[in-house]
Amino acid sequence: MATAPDAPVAALGHRRDRLLRAILSSFLFAYMGFILAVLLASAIWLTRTDRATGSPYLFGLARDEQLGGEILFAFKLSLVTSAITAGLAMVIGIPSAYALSRFRFRALAFIDTVIDLPIVMPPLIAGIALLLFFRQTMTGRFIEDHLVPVVYTKTGIVVAQFFVASAFAIRALKATFDQINPRFEGVARSLGCTAWQALWKVALPLARNGIIAGLVMTWARAMGEFAPIMMLAGSSPGRTAVLSVTAFLNMSAGHVEASIAVVVLMVIIAALTLVTFKRMGGQGYLW
Amino acid sequence: MVIEVRDLAITLGEFALHEIRMLVPEGEYFVVLGPTGAGKTVLLECIVGLHQPAAGSVHLDGRDVTALRPEERNVSYVPQDYCLFPHMTVRDNIAFGMRLRHWPAERLEQKTQHLADLLHITPLLARRPLTLSGGEKQRAALARALAIEPRVLLLDEPLAAVDERTRERLCDELKAVQRELGTTTIHVSHNFEETLAVADRIGIFHRGRIMQVGTPHEVFHQPANRFVAEFTRSENLVPGRVVQEGERPHFVTDGLRLPIPAAREGPACLVVRPEELRLHGPGALAGDGRVAGQVARTVDKGALVKVLVKAGEADWSVLVPTRIARELQLAPGGAVVLEVPADAIHVLVDDEGPPDGEGPADRESQR
């Protein structure tokens, strides 16, 4: 639906402008090279021969039931929790984003700031605040004791991811709805749609690609969350340690190959996510 | 369906409407004509029901529908950018409103076919809107709007996005389709040719107010005020006085004395359209309304030549056919005789430009 605005094309094609072009581009390519070098280093490192076993680290890891199992468990845990989080974020995000895009609010600046806070605040701080909320406040304690235990549980993982990821979901989805001319709904209304039908039959179908892009991005964001999960859900391997936490734990325990394996895995996931997001014409903040 | 707007007022961001009063009788093709930013779209959207007016009301066939939701009004609306639903084929777009009404498949099919034939879009039915040209989109959007057999059809700048030649053809078609179906129509435009091609009556809009309502002839030849006169390109506005002299009133300036039809005495403004003025060779001064002058400049307009003439201590703009201009050998500095035909004269008495309060809206003809 959303077409990218025409990129500015400067007249830099002229032969005599080549030097300028080369100099400016070199900055771009230098940074790109830096990123690729860092990422490739991890991938290449995994294929190196481990002196202790005589085979590449990757194979050793695959054979190591303890470490391999831990990573596999963390991978599955991450997949499941972030999928749930992404789903929940859509449940919150679609109505919120539509409301933000279509209705006029009095304290819009305030609302905007609050919604953006989880994106801007340091993740560790979000985690500490979450922990405090569930442990030290009446509401938090009530939820813990009577509804669902959150702290140091798998639920906590979802809560920690949700807290941050939903803000991204709302941003991405609002950008999508902003791109859809409200007249589409107006015409639908004139043709006989109720407000609900106009939303269901016109606005949502038009937002479909944006919603998919937002879903994928939110999922990836949840997948990569670290500090808030550490704080709220803890880091017990085989229980609440998600992929990123596993990478951290193994790094500190000296199992470098395990954390590098996680690195490669997560880079691949991130790349796939980005490709999907862009294909779907995703809008709004990425991170 | 009679559309009546009573004292409607609304402010939407930078657009505001004030005391809009208009009455569009059953089956009429009414054009709201005005410069960009006059609030024409807001007016349409108030009639559709997309905005709640701050004051005033909208009546359809005498019934107050101001509080009704858009879906309860049966008013069809074609916005300027058409807003064809891009996720549906043209056929599904046309069927959209009919499906919401749960019409039987047979009736739905018949109606779609009828409209597709009428608007020549049968070959496009399976296409997606994004693949259509401007004119095709326009027809598809019109078919979708007409499919629900609306009581009222509202068109917002329907021909703004099509090229000149398509526009001419679509104008004829719009009018023909409206005649055939008899749907009361309000069409918003800023284009004169388009307006003249379709309008039964015209409402001139300016800064959220109605300046004049009337037939095309009334609006173009008897402008109600200075704004309408200037907007409709009655380029000759000469300030002066109306004086009773003998039997008839005359319009008098320092260099002019023209007999005019009845008008109140006092300060006034003479309005004559440039195409109504006549030019004669020097010396042909015999006859009413003739005054000697001098050509200041000529501008070639293709089929016509615009001649700027200084006569009777006033500047005149005269449109003459190219052939006549050639025969008169018009050239800057040359002497001519300007004829202001009595039947072309319109006098604005005591005109002070567009008033802020009431006034122009009161002149609305309530047919």
Residues with Cβ within 8 Å of B68's Cβ and at least 6 positions away in sequence, in order, are B49
CB contact under 8 A, B77 and A187: yes
Domain-embedded: residue B359? no
CB contact under 8 A, B96 and A183: no
Nearest to B71 among A1, A193, A206 (CB): A193
Greater confidence, A279 or B183? B183
- Residue in chain B closest to A186 (alpha carbons) equals B50
CB contact under 8 A, B86 and A206: yes
Question: Is the model's pTM score more than 0.90?
Answer: no
pLDDT at B289: 83
Q: Do B242 and B268 have their domain in common?
A: yes
Overall average pLDDT of the B319-336 stretch? 89
CA distance A187 to chain B (A): 6
- Count of the separate structural domains present in chain B: 2
pLDDT at A13: 60
Overall average pLDDT of the A145-163 stretch? 92
CB contact under 8 A, A1 and B73: no
Beta-carbon neighbour count of residue B265 at 10 Å?
11
Q: Indicate whether A4 pLDDT > 70.
A: no
Q: Do B68 and B175 have their domain in common?
A: yes
Overall average pLDDT of the B220-236 stretch? 91
- Residue in chain B closest to A204 (alpha carbons) equals B87
- Residue in chain A closest to B155 (alpha carbons) equals A187
Weakest-pLDDT range from A128-142, A173-187, A269-283, B216-230: A269-283
Q: Indicate whether B69 pLDDT > 90.
A: yes
Q: Indicate whether A201 pLDDT > 50.
A: yes
pLDDT at B358: 38
Overall average pLDDT of the B24-33 stretch? 95
Domain-embedded: residue B363? no
pLDDT at B318: 94
Which domain CATH number covers B339? 2.40.50.100
Spatial CA neighbour of B19 closest among B1, B39, B33: B39
Domain-embedded: residue B358? no
CB contact under 8 A, A187 and B49: no
- Among A207-211, A235-239, B185-189, B240-244, the range with the most confident prediction by mean pLDDT is B185-189
Q: Do B150 and B128 have their domain in common?
A: yes
Tokens of B73: 């009004």
- Residue in chain B closest to A207 (alpha carbons) equals B87
Weakest-pLDDT range from A2-6, A160-164, A218-222, B338-342: A2-6
Domain span holding position B36:
3-221
- ipTM associated with this complex: 0.82
Domain-embedded: residue B82? yes
Overall average pLDDT of the A36-65 stretch? 82
Q: Do B191 and B208 have their domain in common?
A: yes
Task: Return the domain boundaries, chain A.
Answer: 64-279
- Residue in chain A closest to B70 (alpha carbons) equals A190
- Go through A87-99 and write b for each residue having 16 or more CB atoms within 10 A of its CB, e for each that does not: ebbbebbbebbbe
Q: Residue for token digits 């003439």?
A: B309
B244, B300 Cβ separation under 8 angstroms: no
To the nearest whole number, what is the mean pLDDT of chain A? 87
Q: Do B196 and B271 have their domain in common?
A: no
Q: What is the pLDDT of residues A73-93, one digit of tens each?
A: 999 999 999 999 999 999 999
- Residue in chain B closest to A202 (alpha carbons) equals B85
B35, B190 Cβ separation under 8 angstroms: yes
pLDDT band at B260 (very low <50, low <70, confident <90, very high): confident
CA distance A211 to chain B (A): 15
Q: Do B78 and B211 have their domain in common?
A: yes
Spatial CA neighbour of B56 closest among B228, B211, B223, B210: B210
Look at the alpha carbons of B353, B357, B363, B364 in this order and tell me if their dihedral is positive or negative: positive
CB contact under 8 A, A189 and B87: no
Which residue in A103, A184, A187 has the most chain B C-beta atoms within 10 A of its own C-beta, making it the best mutation to test that interface? Answer: A187
Distances (CA, A) of B260 to B118, B225, B238, B275: 49, 18, 14, 19
pLDDT at B350: 65
CB contact under 8 A, B87 and A197: no
Beta bridge partners of B291: B338
Nearest to A184 among B49, B83, B101 (CB): B83
Q: What is the rounded CA–CA span in Å between residue A31 and residue A281?
A: 25
CB contact under 8 A, A1 and B75: no
Q: What is the rounded CA–CA span in Å between residue B89 and residue A141?
A: 54
Q: Do B149 and B111 have their domain in common?
A: yes
Weakest-pLDDT range from B76-85, B203-212, B247-256: B247-256
| Chain B residues with CB-CB distance to A189 below 8 A | 48-50, 69-71
Nearest to B79 among A183, A192, A197 (CB): A183
Beta strands B266-272 and B346-349 are antiparallel
- Residue in chain B closest to A197 (alpha carbons) equals B100
To the nearest whole number, what is the mean pLDDT of chain B? 88
Q: Indicate whether B355 pLDDT > 70.
A: no
CB contact under 8 A, A184 and B101: no
- Residue in chain B closest to A205 (alpha carbons) equals B87
Overall average pLDDT of the B163-177 stretch? 87
Nearest to A206 among B50, B87, B145 (CB): B87
Q: Indicate whether B300 pLDDT > 70.
A: yes
Chosen domain end from B204, B221, B238 = B221
Q: What is the rounded CA–CA span in Å between residue B15 and residue B36?
A: 11
Which residue in A190, A206, A208 has the most chain B C-beta atoms within 10 A of its own C-beta, making it the best mutation to test that interface? Answer: A190
| Chain B residues with CB-CB distance to A188 below 8 A | 85, 96
Which residue in A185, A191, A201, A204 has the most chain B C-beta atoms within 10 A of its own C-beta, making it the best mutation to test that interface? Answer: A191
Backbone angles phi, psi at B272, to 5 degrees: -140, 135
Which domain CATH number covers B95? 3.40.50.300
Which residue in B100, B108, B153, B183 has the most chain A C-beta atoms within 10 A of its own C-beta, making it the best mutation to test that interface? Answer: B100
Overall average pLDDT of the A134-139 stretch? 92
CB contact under 8 A, B76 and A183: no
| Cα pseudo-dihedral B230, B234, B235, B237, rounded to 10 | -80
Q: Do B40 and B96 have their domain in common?
A: yes
Query: Which CATH number does A64-279 carry?
Result: 1.10.3720.10
Q: Indicate whether B169 pLDDT > 90.
A: no
Q: Do B230 and B217 have their domain in common?
A: no
Q: Indicate whether A2 pLDDT > 70.
A: no
Percent of the residues in chain B that have a pLDDT greater than 90, as a whole number? 62
Q: Do B208 and B239 have their domain in common?
A: no
Q: Indicate whether B363 pLDDT > 50.
A: no
Chosen domain end from B174, B196, B221 = B221
Overall average pLDDT of the B152-169 stretch? 87
Residues with Cβ within 8 Å of B333's Cβ and at least 6 positions away in sequence, in order, are B294, B295
Which residue in B12, B75, B87, B154 has the most chain A C-beta atoms within 10 A of its own C-beta, making it the best mutation to test that interface? Answer: B87
Q: What is the rounded CA–CA span in Å between residue B133 and residue B147?
A: 21
CA distance B97 to chain A (A): 5
Q: Indicate whether A145 pLDDT > 50.
A: yes
Q: Do B191 and B54 have their domain in common?
A: yes
Chosen domain end from B221, B251, B284 = B221
Burial of B285 (0-12, 13-18, 19+ CB in 10 A): exposed
Overall average pLDDT of the B122-131 stretch? 94
pLDDT band at A11 (very low <50, low <70, confident <90, very high): low
* Per-position DSSP letters for A49-96, written without gaps between them: BPTTTSSBHHHHHHH-HHHHHHHHHHHHHHHHHHHHHHHHHHHHHHHH
CB contact under 8 A, A187 and B148: no
Weakest-pLDDT range from A72-76, B207-211, B340-344: B340-344
For Cα atoms A34, A38, A44, give the angle at the middle one, nearest 5 degrees: 135
CB contact under 8 A, B48 and A193: no
Q: Do B236 and B161 have their domain in common?
A: no
CA distance B100 to chain A (A): 6
The kind and range of the H/E element at A34 are helix A18-46
CA distance B183 to chain A (A): 15
pLDDT at A1: 39
B170, B189 Cβ separation under 8 angstroms: no
CB contact under 8 A, B73 and A190: yes
CB contact under 8 A, A188 and B96: yes
